Amino acid sequence: MESQSRIVQQSDGHPVPTSNRPESELVYRQTRWTRLTHWVWALSLFFLLLSGLQIFNAHPALYIGKQSGFQFDNDVLVIGSDYSSNGPIGYTELLGKRFNTTGILGLSGPIDNLDARAFPAWATIPSGQDLATGRVVHFFFAWALSATLLAWLVASALSGHLRRDLVPRADDIRRLPRDIADHARLKFHHSRDYNTLQKLAYGGVLFVLLPLMILTGLAMSPSMNAAIPFLADMLGGRQTARTIHFVAMALLVGFFIVHMLMILAAGPINELRSIITGWYRTDPSERGNSDKGSA
């Protein structure tokens, strides 16, 4: 444990030396396996998102139910283009309410060469309209994500990482109001252990959103329909599964945005060092007190 001598000021202004004041301490927070899977998931989700938007562009609408078509009125989201008195426009229709999204969704690109497509070229892989390539990229990274997630779950269960670091305890639930208040004030505690909000957020991603993405992806696959035909029915039909898949993707994007904001607020150098090298600098007051974590 390191120590430091420093000078503090009394109320009368005279300096008072203090010694043996503990500094922050580097602790080994993230194992090599955790760091590896984190970056594989980050890379996979990046390509899954952009290739998924390419696939969505082939039929830019979402429905609830087992079927879709002109004879059905079950769409919940439609992105397209139309003509108005002022010329072509792009629109997004959500639950029957239409919004003008020209330049972003439905109709995008240079003003003198607008392209009628749901998501713009910069948001898809590949950037041009290419469903076949988009599906190849999407399926490759979907299997990479699924295999890595399964391996991580097995290894974490055997090593005790799940029980020790991710499963919320009774004390964590009691601390939840305090953690919410601290985060709202941007007051972060740097400790070896995750705080309650982290456990709930990471647990929601690892045990709810990612498995849901995988299951709904399988439900949309014709080959999987032949192998496990009941899966799509369990999810309300292929069209409902596609909608759930899209919503889960949107929630993952929301998690990523909040995750990045919390990293910036809590100290990006410390957070990035932890997920790259495994070493994390804790607060002096947090030594021996592992009930809190950074954002």
- Chunked mean pLDDT (size 10), the chain, 295 residues: 38 45 74 91 96 96 79 86 88 94 90 88 93 96 95 89 87 89 85 88 94 93 82 89 95 95 90 91 64 42
Asked if 61 and 91 count as a contact pair (C-beta separation under 8 A), the reply is: no
User: According to the model, what pLDDT value does residue 226 have?
Assistant: 77
User: According to the model, what pLDDT value does residue 15 have?
Assistant: 47
- Domain extent listing, the chain: 61-118
Instruction: Please indicate, yes or no, whether the overall pTM of this predicted structure exceeds 0.75.
Output: yes
